[in-house]
Amino acid sequence: MSFALGAVAVAAGHSLQAFDTVGSTNAEGLALAREGRGPAWVVARSQTAGRGRRGREWSTERGNLAASFATTLDVAPATAATLGFVAGLALETALRQVAKSLQARDARPELKWPNDVIVDGAKLAGILLEADALADGRLAVVVGIGVNVVSAPEDLPYPATSLAARGDEVEAEQLFTALADSLVGWLEVWDSGRGLAAVRKAWMARAAGLGSQVAVELGGRTIRGRFESIDDSGRLVIRAQTGVATAISAGDVYFGSASSHAAQG
């Protein structure tokens, strides 16, 4: 089976570059965006030099999905950053379409701020957004999406799972086609940031840990409180026991018992 765009993505004018092996789909995609060759997808069967958040290394084993969507936007950087939420919604939609185990209401994927998709508390997918300012004032933007289709890393400090481990016989190519089409619809909702309120509402309906106690690691310090919301800018809002609310732009979030460990570490 080969990678292919769905009819919706083709009609929207999206293009596709597919590789067997690539260093980083995000690097390839960002190069396309800088050249104004988006909207375009870059997808690969394996990735050898992928990147996670905060410069962490992230390789993609053959059979898992490594895909990046590249485009050029005439919006403010803060608005472009909200594309991560759009991608999360598109991926959640696509996963429910192709994976039978995720179609039951009590087993649906959840979106973990700022960029993960989890199922039953275990990470299934991650999203990484990168951008470069262009000379004309626009932004070259790439949204990388990695999904554990056939296998999940075992050396992580948190639980991870794969579609195969959940009993889903899904191929990366099948998931990609559904994702490419799903993203078109959510991009229309987002509407270059004008539809952010609708995106925020949809994301909140799928939010992991909403209302629970969380710990957020911010470099050398940890903030604890109740996950209350995400604000209009996409920042995580947590409220401490003192009643003081804090809006956080970036950090590593831990739920439940993991939140207590993070606070002590």
Domain 213-264 sits in CATH 2.60.120.560: no
pLDDT at 154: 81
Q: Estimate the crossing angle of helix 172-190 against helix 83-98, to 10 degrees.
A: 140
pLDDT at 202: 97
Domain ranges within the chain, ordered by starting residue: 7-205, 213-264
Architecture of domain 7-205: 2-Layer Sandwich (3.30)
pLDDT at 264: 42
Query: What are the structure tokens assigned to 196, written together?
Result: 């952010």
* Size (the chain), residues: 265
pLDDT at 261: 45
pLDDT tens per residue, the chain (265 residues)?
Answer: 799 999 999 999 999 999 999 999 999 999 999 999 989 999 998 888 766 554 455 557 889 999 999 999 999 999 999 999 999 999 999 999 999 999 887 788 999 998 899 999 999 999 999 999 999 999 999 999 999 999 998 877 778 999 999 999 999 999 999 999 999 999 999 999 999 999 999 999 999 999 999 999 887 789 999 999 999 889 999 999 899 999 998 888 888 644 444 444 3
Angstrom distance (rounded) from CA 141 to CA 73: 7
Angstrom distance (rounded) from CA 131 to CA 34: 9
pLDDT at 211: 92
Angstrom distance (rounded) from CA 117 to CA 146: 10
